[in-house]
Structure 1
Amino acid sequence: MARAENKETAGPATRLVANVARNMRVQKGWTQEQLGSEIGFTGAAVSAMETCAQPASDQMLVELERVLGGGTGIFEEARTHVRLDKYPAQFKNYALLEQKAVGLSLYATLVVHGLFQTEEYARALIGGGDPPLPEERVEELVEARMSRRVLFNREPVALIELILEESVLRRTIGSEEVMRAQLLYLVECGRRRNVTLQALPLDCGLMGEHAGAYGEMNLVETPEHDHLVYLEPQEEALLIKDPAKVSTYAQRYAKIRAQALGPRESLGLIERLAGDQQ
């Protein structure tokens, strides 16, 4: 069931798609049920999209472009912006930076970084959050999170580094089956030529040093080669642009990288942990 509150909080791209699709449908003389039949959705789904009760999914936008777009590309162009409308407010600015970045250096301490999550892992994580979310909102957020994967295959290529605490790899989210699939997906990602994946071992602090003690971070290099840091403590957002502060985070990240296992050792550890989930 679509959420009524979406009608009041829908973003500009969601509203634009709703208005354009409605006007094009009316010009063709189609009912909502007829348009739904043409694009493979129910009339109720078309109604929810047109009233902004439920933003159009990626697949719906693809089909709207095919059936109504007429070569204009308007629904295709809207896909990125509708995705942004689905993100939590504090994440939207970073989402734009992430998709345009030429380089990302990521450090995750509690759960697998969102960019690297499987659909099942993300659904278990989002659905198990507090306060509980309606099922429709969970699916909306899962879809939005999965859409971030386009960065892996984007041209020009983005160089992505991810350091995960070993505890993240050992923490079961959802079920053993879900976790095993997540671990195997990390291995798949780590074998990409534009991805470097490392694990920070549990015993990294035995000598009294743990450079990652202050928590996770996202370092971003923009197409203009500016360097930024994004932090998200307790669902709050902090975007740091000051060069001196960014330099401090970059140095800290370099230390964390030095304390982590090498990429080959890290993938070996993840594969062994995946085997333990069987």
Structure 2
Amino acid sequence: MATLLTGLSRALTVLEELAAAGPEGMAIKEIASKTSLDKAVIHRILATLKARGYAEQESESGNYFLGTRTLALADVYLKQDNLREILHAAAVEVSAQSNELCHVGVPEGKGVRYIEKIEPDHSIRVVSHIGIVNPQATTSLGRAMLATHVNTRAELDGFLGDESTDQVWCAVESAHAAGFALEIEENEAGISCVGVAIKRGSLPVAAMSLTVPADRMPQERQIELGNLLRSTLKSTLPPSLNIPDIL
């Protein structure tokens, strides 16, 4: 068994307490009470964390809280290349269980960029490839992400081009309620899609969808595939990521 580094373990314990404390932070005496570490040790740890940007101190209260460097680490971890790797196993599993085409996309301005495509055993002729960018408003991937943070028509307007506000708003409202978004033959004749958003905290970082010929996509199949996406993502996502709750 590997020998643990005591100093590093103590520093990580302090970081975990700062994370749990949230934006209000904690005083050294509170950290000492929760960790049973000596105040002098905690002070040295916090001084090091501050110097590296992993902790900050509020001038009036003296409380310590997480620094912006910790958030930067999460951003690097969740960049496109890493997200594709993180979500690959779930995409393969969803495609295999449904025998349908699976896409993964990430938000890019008003659009969604496709970063993964898993083909089923049978071919489905669709105009998609890794790297393509489609409007969020017209795709199940994009609508699923919009539903995580767009709550009014005014907010939605910023993501629209020539699309029908009523049609997109109905799709977003439906995604709020169901936990998955739909697109039925709006981008390609004969093709329908169901998508689920993937969030870090409250913000969308990606979405996963299944693409199905419209003649095999009655309402029962829509619900079945939406639930399959949700259940698979719930069981495979790392703790830093989550999917929307069903309202």
Pick 1 or 2: higher relative contact order, CA cutoff 8 A, min separation 6.
1
Class of the TM-score when normalised by the shorter of the 2 chains: under 0.3
State TM-score, norm by structure 2: 0.26
> Based on CA coordinates, which of the two structures has the bigger radius of gyration?
2
TM-score (structure 1 length as normaliser): 0.24
